[in-house]
Structure 1
Amino acid sequence: MSGRTTSEPESVLTTDSDINRTVSSAGLEALRRGFGYLHSIQGTHGGWTGDYDGPLFLLPGYVFIHHIVGRPLSEADRTAFIATLRRAQTSEGSFGLHADGKGYLFTTVLNYVALRLMGVGADDPDIRCAHAWIHENGGASAVPSWGKYWLSILNLYSWEGCHPVPPELWILPQALPIHPSRFWCHCRVVVLAISYLYGRRFQAHVDPLLSSLRNELFSEPFDAVDWPAMRDRVCPVDRYFEPPRILRTLNYFLGIFEKWMPGSVRAKALKTVLDHIKHEQMTTDFIDIGPVNKLLDTLAVWSAEPDSEHARKALDALPQYIFDCERGKTMQAYNSSELWDTGFVALSLADSGLAGQFVPMARETYRFIDENQIRNDVDQRERYFRDPSKGGWPFSNRAHGWPIVDCTALGLMGALALAPYALAPMDTGRLLEAVDLLLFWQNNDGGWSTYERQRVGAWLETLNASEIFGNIMVDVSQVELTSSAIQGLAAARSSIGDRFKPVRARNVDAAISRGAQFVRALQRPDGSWEGNWGICFTYGTWFGIWGLLDAGAAPDDPAIVRAAGFLRTKQCSDGGWGESHESCTQRQYVQHADGGQVVMTAWAVLALVRASPEQHRDAIKAGLRFLTERQLPNGDWPAQGMTGVFNRTCMLNYRFYRNYFPLWALALALKNGIA
């Protein structure tokens, strides 16, 4: 992602004397303070571990499982979790889908139940406010499907009020275009676990507290609710889109099939699904790909074999998702973002020219990247619908086991960038494995998806049954993933291309060219690109510019000029850039109410420096002033709004974005003589 052309130290790294000829002492001091701060909090494993949180529907599930299986939370955890949820509650009594969001019935109901299960009384002022908000917005029967599933599991709702999720889907012929093996992996594994729990109609034992909650959550007596009539009922505040006719029709026929499903077929399907769940757990060291399926997989296995060693290991692994972060102790959106964060630290440090002053930091950073490359494919991967893994890098750590396209590109570039400081550099064969995996992952449209090659047409998105998230069904090509793959391949071509076989060299060149065409096709008329994993047009446009430049585009390429022009129009009067998370849901640029934001400013500066440092000098200098003036004395930057997003509607906090992106922006600007 740096556009670096070689891994040799004399050409990769700019010396302090070179920097001092072109930069202000304030800028250089900001870099030294910033890297000094990062070095002071570097983990003993060589990486950085910070909070990766934001969603407010995760921690309730953690509380639910402990209640269901009879594993009481420790008093310390219970106290900390209650405090975290109280801080997250809005003044009107609701809870947002994420920490910066407006109230959702889905998360308000789940957090209400979690607080009650942790011992908060029904007469508590916060509980009373939440209770009133829930009933003002239709009661618990109007939660979207994910809420209905959780409430059914807790025996606070009926499975008859849910759209069918039959486990028999998994024993259909795999050639069918609607077979779950074609779903995006995060969707696939959630459907997998829910289909098992639905297929068994698993429900918790009703105790006095759950019995009380039945009376608290609904506007009518629990036993009088017409459950089938509730299937399509969703609070308007929560609904992101209206279900299309094809989905309604499919749900209707699934309901008919469910009534006539032979017991022998159901038993076969449940056995198959449980086998897939256990494989997912065993190949991820019981971490699972993400927190939602971690919770549901654990519950599914416990429901099937509560006294087994496998179930115990799954339960024991749950705390790996708990982290005490800036907004309190909560459940993370992944087991960590360590590789992602450490890779960006590697690139920013290499581009700063200061790696020679932080050799132990550079060496340990390299060690983390080295040790967390995935070395083998998953056992029986085709049977369990897995792509190759060997040579890739994950978002978090090697134990997690799921490689991702942009993380693989980032790991590859980080390894190349800091190789001069490694005690034992990775051998070329391992680097080539990463190159070959990136080549394998390229889609037919020339772009790259997240975890896997695209397995079905985007039309399958019409079967998105979540109601609250967008783009969850199909792993389609995206600008950030495509740009990252281009950058990784270009860096490898420049650094180790002399060790490419001719056929690999040709394949890399062709892949980069096709990727660039895809990136061009995604550019909007105003010059921007829409981001999928960061907020939103600032993030996407940075990736679009860098991907095209690393594919060989010139700074005066019309696409680059339009993109830079778009960013120039969004610069705030304070010199920074600030984009609201509402851009993601509205799919058009929305200015942040607080003006410039440190992270968005860094992304814009990174984009403009690569686009044309001389042409955009004044805008870049204003952005640099914004960044340096807001750096704290200890080298950190203050926490601001959310910077990440998934599936259009749920925002994420990346703890270290406010550290390495400003440092990287400063480093590249100063390296290009802009002070």
Structure 2
Amino acid sequence: MNQIKKQIHLLVEKLIQDQKSNGSWSFCFENGPITDSYMILLMITLAKRDSSVMKVLNRIIKMQSSDGSWKLYPDENPGNISATIEACLALLYCGKCAPDDPIMQKAKGFIMKHGGLQKANRLTKILLSLFGHQPWPSIPLLPIECLLLPTSNPYNLFNIVGYARVHLVPLMILAHQKLQIDLPHKNEVDQWLSGIPINVTEEEPLIHRKQIAHHFTHSQIKLEKLALQQGLDFMIKHTEIDGTLYSYTTSTFFMVFALHSLGYPFNHMYIQKAYNGLVTFLFPLDEGIYHLQETSSTVWDTSLLVYTLQQAGLPAEHPTIKKGIQYLLKRQQVKKGDWSIHNPYSQPGGWGFSDINTINPDIDDTSACLRALTPSTYRVQSIYSAWKRGVQWLLFMQNPDGGWPAFEKQTDPIWFRVSPKLRHVLADPSNSDLTGRTLEFLGNFTDQRGLSKPIEHACRWLFQHQQKDGSWYGRWGICYIYGTWAALTGLSAVGYDHTHPQVKKAVAWLSHIQNPDGGWGESCDSDRQQKFIPLGRSTTVQTAWALDALISVTTKPTKKIQAGIKYLLQRLSDPTIDDYPTGAGFAGQFYIRYHAYPFIWPLLTLSHYYQRYS
């Protein structure tokens, strides 16, 4: 116990020192090369040459694999064709590389070997059309008229989850307008693309125009004009104060080009503000190497750290905690967003993920902030009032099936379910990690621990969605370890212990997949294949999740737990060496290395171990 207590103290002291003057913590939200590539292409399009933005090129080059590919996660095999094409477009268009350079030829060889442009994802094909390297599809994925459908129509835009919706709107505008940008170095890019099999067959649209035509009486020209105006209004309404669209890099990138297709010059205030907003997402990694984050994770990291530090022993009156609480209170959302369309009777009160986020709250950030606030609610009335609003919002966001979504209630229409892939991209169904995390909060931090209707309904949903092997799938972390951790800690918080058959089954699964070194590790391949794929090595983050789950339902430390703790203590001599992405986002398009995670989760797990067994 002395070694555990010492490690807790070391981590706490470091995190206190890392806190910013405004009470937040700033860690990198690091993903693959896609956002770096997009930012370079946007910078070139706007005829800028920012030295800080240019430093993302060093990261792009550094990330190329020995087979010539770029990857979304280290063990992706083979590499990722879309990420490879996008990285090469960035390097060629900015003049950093020439078509005949060895790294370009190696990348080209990889693309040709693995199927050519046809194997790229939809966004990459849109990029190629946008920059004039292939024609736009003759039939769009979604006809522009879909923007005019009322919310009573099953095909309306608000049956699609918000993070997908803010990407689809500018993409629908671009596909309708068929914008093509002619940049310097286009000939070099065409030279590099020559010889790569294209054969791009047009994909079946999600909705055909004839499926919705009977809803309208206007002429086609009038409809298109109205729909384009609706799309423009939507983008402007959903732009944050920093100019970004919903505080996402990728949606902002496409918004810039959608605005231009509607007649806005590249020097227009909207476009310049969007670009400047994205510049604030730059994060320095190493000397001369920057990364353009998809967004910032400031609220998420800060809420987790304020809570974890209190679990580690800091009192609510400690200056670090008080500063963190004040930061979080300023980020509570006070106006209704799209979430209220399917949830009109709830008042605002949630929190979002990023520092600049005023209209897109989510379940996980809200419960994380509420955990952080709870110890302070007894001493400050205003904190209790904020906490109460957040709890009420959280309860109102429960789906009718008993589970919790990530962002928006009842955003899982039946027509998505014919395609699991489509549902994964566009819907926001109840999922195990959000349901488990919400249960853990309600059970441990509110008076809902008894089997109230919301809790009873949620437990039933969790038990129904347990995998046959005893695990649960987690959508926003990697993956079955993450989901099982969330489910077990949630069930434990509302009274289910190690004697329950389904809890025992989950414990047996976690014990079975433990590595010989005492740790746990899971590959991002699990998300792709929808089954548990071992990483082949352990990570501190996933080990902490597995241990925390076992500790929550185990009255005495087992040999399995002791071995995990031993591994964790050995690895914590340098938490930064844990560089494997353990977060997931945007339906398999992003795998995220949260730089805060190797500090947060081991500290929380060691604190829970100490509290339970000391």
Q: Is residue 68–residue 107 contact of structure 2 (8 Å, CA) maintained in 1?
A: yes
Whether 1:539 aligns to 2:497 is no
Q: Which residue of 2 aligns with 1:624?
A: 565
2:173 aligned to which of 172, 180, 196: 196
User: C-alpha separation between the residues in 2 aligned to 1:100 and 1:54?
Assistant: 14
Q: Which residue of 1 aligns with 2:461?
A: 518
Give the drift of 1:523: 1.0
Secondary structure of 2:435's counterpart equals: helix
Letter matched to residue 450 of structure 1? A
Greater shift in the superposed pair: 191-200 or 367-376: 367-376
Q: Could you list the per-position Cα deviations for residues 86-115 of structure 1 after superposition, in whole angstroms to 9, with x for gaps in the alignment?
A: 111111111123455331221111111100
User: C-alpha separation between the residues in 2 aligned to 1:463 and 1:167?
Assistant: 22
User: C-alpha separation between the residues in 2 aligned to 1:293 and 1:169?
Assistant: 19
Secondary structure of 2:291's counterpart equals: strand
Q: Is residue 374–residue 398 contact of structure 1 (8 Å, CA) maintained in 2?
A: no
Q: Which residue of 2 aligns with 1:604?
A: 546
Letter matched to residue 158 of structure 1? P
Whether 1:333 aligns to 2:294 is yes
Check 1:48–1:94 CA distance in 2 against 1; reply closer, same or farther (3 A cut): same
Q: Which residue of 1 aligns with 2:307?
A: 347
Greater relative contact order (Cα 8 A, min sep 6): structure 1 or 2?
A: 1
Greater shift in the superposed pair: 157-166 or 145-154: 157-166
Whether 1:281 aligns to 2:223 is no
Give the drift of 1:271: 0.7
Whether 1:437 aligns to 2:393 is yes
Q: Could you list the per-position Cα deviations for residues 527-549 of structure 1 after superposition, in whole angstroms to 9, with x for gaps in the alignment?
A: 21111111111111111111112
2:369 aligned to which of 400, 411, 423: 411
Greater shift in the superposed pair: 434-443 or 643-652: 643-652
Give the drift of 1:148: 1.2
Give the drift of 1:68: 2.2
Q: Is residue 142–residue 205 contact of structure 2 (8 Å, CA) maintained in 1?
A: no
Letter matched to residue 367 of structure 1? Q
Q: Could you list the per-position Cα deviations for residues 51-106 of structure 1 after superposition, in whole angstroms to 9, with x for gaps in the alignment?
A: 11223222222122222232x2323432x222111111111111123455331221
The alignment's TM-score, normalised by the length of structure 1, stands at 0.83
Check 1:359–1:192 CA distance in 2 against 1; reply closer, same or farther (3 A cut): same
Check 1:162–1:447 CA distance in 2 against 1; reply closer, same or farther (3 A cut): same
The alignment's TM-score, normalised by the length of structure 2, stands at 0.90
Q: Which residue of 1 aligns with 2:408?
A: 452
Give the drift of 1:638: 2.4
Q: Which residue of 1 aligns with 2:223?
A: 265
User: C-alpha separation between the residues in 2 aligned to 1:97 and 1:27?
Assistant: 35
Check 1:386–1:294 CA distance in 2 against 1; reply closer, same or farther (3 A cut): farther
Q: Which residue of 1 aligns with 2:281?
A: 321
User: C-alpha separation between the residues in 2 aligned to 1:385 and 1:215?
Assistant: 52
Q: Which residue of 2 aligns with 1:145?
A: 122
Q: Which residue of 2 aligns with 1:359?
A: 318
2:109 aligned to which of 118, 132, 147: 132
Letter matched to residue 154 of structure 2? P
Whether 1:640 aligns to 2:593 is no
Q: Could you list the per-position Cα deviations for residues 438-467 of structure 1 after superposition, in whole angstroms to 9, with x for gaps in the alignment?
A: 12111110011011102343541446887x
CA RMSD of aligned residues (A): 3.1
User: C-alpha separation between the residues in 1 aligned to 2:280 and 2:358?
Assistant: 11
Whether 1:528 aligns to 2:489 is no
Q: Is residue 323–residue 330 contact of structure 1 (8 Å, CA) maintained in 2?
A: yes
User: C-alpha separation between the residues in 2 aligned to 1:55 and 1:640?
Assistant: 12
Give the gaps of 5 or more residues in structure 1: 1-23, 233-246, 498-504
Q: Which residue of 1 aligns with 2:82?
A: 106
Q: Is residue 389–residue 402 contact of structure 1 (8 Å, CA) maintained in 2?
A: no
Secondary structure of 1:340's counterpart equals: helix
Give the gaps of 5 or more residues in structure 2: none
Check 1:346–1:591 CA distance in 2 against 1; reply closer, same or farther (3 A cut): same
2:510 aligned to which of 567, 574, 579: 567
User: C-alpha separation between the residues in 1 aligned to 2:271 and 2:401?
Assistant: 42
Q: Is residue 133–residue 190 contact of structure 2 (8 Å, CA) maintained in 1?
A: yes
User: C-alpha separation between the residues in 2 aligned to 1:309 and 1:249?
Assistant: 34
User: C-alpha separation between the residues in 2 aligned to 1:509 and 1:355?
Assistant: 30
User: C-alpha separation between the residues in 1 aligned to 2:212 and 2:116?
Assistant: 24
User: C-alpha separation between the residues in 1 aligned to 2:393 and 2:343?
Assistant: 16
Check 1:59–1:156 CA distance in 2 against 1; reply closer, same or farther (3 A cut): same
Give the drift of 1:437: 0.7
Give the drift of 1:136: 3.0
User: C-alpha separation between the residues in 2 aligned to 1:149 and 1:249?
Assistant: 16
Q: Which residue of 1 aligns with 2:359?
A: 401
Q: Could you list the per-position Cα deviations for residues 154-179 of structure 1 after superposition, in whole angstroms to 9, with x for gaps in the alignment?
A: 11221136744322111124322122
